[in-house]
Structure formats: C-alpha cells, structure tokens
Amino acid sequence: MALSDILNRIASDAAHEAKEIIDAARAEADEIVANAAEEASGAARRFERERTREAVRDAETILAGARLRARDADVATRGELVGRALATLEERIVSLPDVAYTAFIARAIVDAAAGGETVKVAAADAARLAGLKAAVDSLSAERGHDLGLCFVSVPADVAHGVVLVGDRSANDLSVAGLVESRRETLVMRLAASLFDKADDGA
C-alpha cells in the first residue's frame, strides 16, 4: 500500500471519527439547549405564577385596607351623627316651654335626691325655674316622700339645669349631665332610629 493510500485512509478514518465526535457534541449541545429552554420555560411559568400570587395578595391587601378605611369612615360618620343628635337633644330640652322644662328638672331632682340636699340652679335658668321648688314638692308628695331639700340662690356652675349638693357629694343634674348619664341608652336608641332603616335600604 502506497504512503498516499495510508495517509488517505488515516484522513478518512479521522474524518469519520471527527464527524461522529462532532455529531455527538451537537446532539449533546442540542440536549443541553433543550433542557435549558425547558428550565427557562419552567422558571418563567413559576415566576408568572408567583407574580400572579403576589398580585392576588396585593389586591387582597388593597381591598382589605379599603374595607377597613370604609368601615372606619362609616363608624366615624355614625359617631358624628349620634353626637349631633345628642347635642340636638340637649338643645330641645333647654328649649322646652318653661312649665315642661320645670317638670323635667323637677323629675330629675326627685329621682336623684336622697333627702336633705341643697339645690343650686344654673344662672341662665334662674328665672324660668322660679317654680321649681313647688314642682319638686308636689312631685315628691305624689310619691310619698318628704325630701326636705334646700333651694339656694347661689348659682350652679353649669350651663342649664341644677346641681344637687349633699354632705359629701354633688349630683350633676344639668341638662348636659342628664344626657351624659344616659348616654349609652340614648346612643343605642339613636343608632337604632338613625341607622336601622338606612341599613335596611342599603
């Protein structure tokens, strides 16, 4: 066999071997690329799912915050309306005709008095409550009590109404004090009146 034939044979074998090596390398590269593409696609899908979950969580957080703010605003509005209603109630009591106002304060005194206290009248009410003692005596007599109250000219330190002063305590029977003492009951009644129908129509 001639040298050239040997070289040609070696070259042919080498080319064949090289082709096999190259084909194997390409197949491996193709597999690597395919695996990488699948991993990338999976990562993209996971990322998308995670972003979707994050978006859902963000939306839920925003919605919860909005609901909380709406609830707080509703509570504040209702509180403001009840506060206005209580203030209006005080104004309505003070604006009662003198006879009705005197009867209202007299009833509060007789309900609260233990006996022997001193009654101080607000300066603003001194004239319109001129008949207060007679009203208190009449009502206490109806109930079978002799309270022995002492009505003095020293004014009470309240805007409207009276203060019942005992030996060791003072009972605030001002209009504001009477409303405040029944605040919880009044708030419940006002809330029922103001909001039940509104909520039913919502």
- What is the share, in percent, of the chain residues with pLDDT greater than 70? 80
- pLDDT at position 53 is 84
What SS3 string covers the chain? Answer: CCHHHHHHHHHHHHHHHHHHHHHHHHHHHHHHHHHHHHHHHHHHHHHHHHHHHHHHHHHHHHHHHHHHHHHHHHHHHHHHHHHHHHHHHHHHHHCCCHHHHHHHHHHHHHHHCCCCCEEEEEHHHCCCCCCHHHHHHHHHHHCCCCCCCEEEEEEECCCCEEEEECCCCEEEEEHHHHHHHCHHHHHHHHHHHHHHHHHHHC
CB 96 within 8 A of CB 128: no
Q: Give 64 or 151, the one with higher predicted confidence.
A: 151
Q: Check whether 21 has a pLDDT greater than 70.
A: no
What is the rounded CA–CA span in Å between residue 116 and residue 172? 16
Residue 43 or 177, more confident: 177
CA distances from 103 to 32, 38, 79, 100, 123 (A): 99, 90, 31, 5, 18
Rounded to the nearest 5°, which phi and psi values hold at 172?
Answer: -75, 105
Bridge pairing between strands 150-156 and 118-122: parallel
Query: Can you give the C-alpha Rg of the chain in angstroms?
Result: 46
- Beta strand pairing call for 118-122 and 161-165: antiparallel
The packing angle between helices 132-142 and 98-112, to 10°, is 50
Tell me what the pLDDT averaged over the chain comes to: 82
Query: What are the domain boundaries of the chain?
Result: 1-95, 97-185
Return the structure tokens found at 113. 């008095």
* pLDDT tens-place string over residues 162-187: 999 998 889 999 999 999 988 888 88
Neighbours of 126 (CB within 10 A): 13
The pLDDT tens digits of the residues spanning 82-97 come to 788 888 888 999 999 9
| Pairwise pLDDT comparison (134 vs 1), residue with the higher score | 134
Per-residue confidence (pLDDT) for residue 148, from 0 to 100: 92
